[in-house]
Amino acid sequence: MQKLCRVMKVTRSGYYAWLMAQRSPTPRQVRDEMNAARIKKVMEDSHYTYGARRIHRKLPDLGKCMIRRLMRKYGLYVRTRRKWRPQTTNSNHTLPVYDNLLAQSFKAEQPNRVWVSDITYVRIGTAFAYLAIVLDLYDRKIVGWTLSRRIDATLVTDALKAAIVCRRPPHGLIVHSDRGSQYASYAYRQLLDGRFLGSMSRKGNPYDNACAESFFHSLKTEWLPFERLLSYNQAYDSLYYYIELFYNRVRLHSAIGYLSPTKMIVAA
């Protein structure tokens, strides 16, 4: 050992001090490991969808910078992939359309005052199904949704009917959507007329329905890329879990003060 220390040009006491440091973690290392375990637990509970901001809401005693440092140090990464979004809106039709009543104002003072609706694709094996959702702008809750193999007027009317049954909204509710032919159909307009106020985005402007697009972004980056959906029933069960049990009840939403939609209603 003495010869090795002489070759490496270090003292024996220095070598043994280094050796003990490798064997005995410092207090900071112990704290880092304990806090990293807490961060990992929060990430596991969120299905690895929470980044530093949402983790900080769950662990307020840890600073955001510390959380980011520990995530990098221990290889804790949010599972996201680039969004894949096929075209779902066909606004090249001659059907009647509604004026845009929101003008990109995505706030509501009370529940059941403003809802937004939209459609997206869900890949099932080598085929597709279509998901229509209705979201309440007050608490960001998905109040109605439906999955179908067909992208037609029934898809969007069934989602809206489910929302109406769930919430029983008052007359005068604004229901906003894009200008797709499904939302301009006679069946959909009949469901609105006399009870609710229809509203539609400007042609070719996805920002006019940004809240619905935001939900689809979360679904398609946080959840669907990591689900191997091979059947329609499997896809339905997976969406039910994400929407009803996670997104509506657990997931923290920055737009409503990092509450879940269910807790938003309770807090109100």
The answer to the question of residue 249 being in a domain is yes
The answer to the question of residue 88 being in a domain is no
As a whole number of angstroms, the distance between CA 218 and CA 222 comes to: 5
CA dihedral 70, 75, 78, 81 (to 10 degrees): 150
**Among 41, 73, 105, residue at a domain's last position:** 73
pLDDT tier for residue 203 given thresholds of 50, 70 and 90: confident
Q: Which residues contact 63 (CB under 8 A, 6 or more apart)?
A: 56
Q: What's the pLDDT score for residue 12?
A: 65
CATH number at residue 189: 3.30.420.10
Backbone angles phi, psi at 199, to 5 degrees: -145, 140
Q: What's the pLDDT score for residue 266?
A: 55
Q: What's the pLDDT score for residue 23?
A: 62
The dihedral built from the CA positions of residue 100, 104, 109 and 112, taken in this order, carries a sign that is: positive
Average pLDDT of 169-175?
Answer: 96
CA angle 101-106-111, nearest 5°?
95
Q: Within this chain, do residues 168 and 245 fall inside the same structural domain, yes or no?
A: yes
Q: What's the pLDDT score for residue 18?
A: 62
Q: Within this chain, do residues 148 and 259 fall inside the same structural domain, yes or no?
A: yes
Pairing of strands 142-148, 127-136: antiparallel
Q: Is 177 exposed, middle or buried (0-12, 13-18, 19+ CB in 10 A)?
A: buried
Is residue 253 within 8 A of residue 260, CB to CB? The reply is yes
Q: What's the pLDDT score for residue 255?
A: 86
The answer to the question of residue 209 being in a domain is yes
Q: Within this chain, do residues 57 and 150 fall inside the same structural domain, yes or no?
A: no
Q: What's the pLDDT score for residue 206?
A: 75
Residue ranges making up the domain that contains 183: 114-267
Domain count, the chain: 2
Q: At what angle do helices 27-45 and 64-73 cross, to 10 degrees?
A: 90
Is residue 85 within 8 A of residue 220, CB to CB? The reply is yes
Q: Within this chain, do residues 261 and 158 fall inside the same structural domain, yes or no?
A: yes
The answer to the question of residue 92 being in a domain is no
Average pLDDT of 110-125?
Answer: 95
Q: Within this chain, do residues 67 and 188 fall inside the same structural domain, yes or no?
A: no
pLDDT tier for residue 202 given thresholds of 50, 70 and 90: confident
Q: What's the pLDDT score for residue 14?
A: 65
CA angle 217-219-224, nearest 5°?
120
Q: Tell me which amino acid residue 113 is.
A: R
Q: Within this chain, do residues 229 and 164 fall inside the same structural domain, yes or no?
A: yes
The dihedral built from the CA positions of residue 78, 82, 86 and 92, taken in this order, carries a sign that is: positive
Average pLDDT of 116-120?
Answer: 96
% pLDDT > 90, the chain: 60
Per-residue pLDDT tens over the stretch 138-167: 999 999 999 999 999 999 999 999 999 999
pLDDT tier for residue 135 given thresholds of 50, 70 and 90: very high
Per-residue pLDDT tens over the stretch 241-256: 999 999 999 999 888 8
Q: Which residues contact 244 (CB under 8 A, 6 or more apart)?
A: 142
4: pLDDT strictly greater than 80: no
Backbone angles phi, psi at 174, to 5 degrees: -90, 130
Q: Within this chain, do residues 120 and 187 fall inside the same structural domain, yes or no?
A: yes
The answer to the question of residue 64 being in a domain is yes
Average pLDDT of 185-193?
Answer: 94
Q: Within this chain, do residues 18 and 139 fall inside the same structural domain, yes or no?
A: no
Query: Which has the higher per-residue pLDDT, 193 or 264?
Result: 193
Q: What's the pLDDT score for residue 17?
A: 65
Q: What's the pLDDT score for residue 47?
A: 85
Task: Give the DSSP letter string of 149-180.
Answer: SS-SHHHHHHHHHHHHHHH-PPTT-EEEE---
36: pLDDT strictly greater than 60: yes
- Chain-centroid distance of CA 94 in Å reads 34
Q: What's the pLDDT score for residue 253?
A: 87
Query: Which has the higher per-residue pLDDT, 29 or 122?
Result: 122
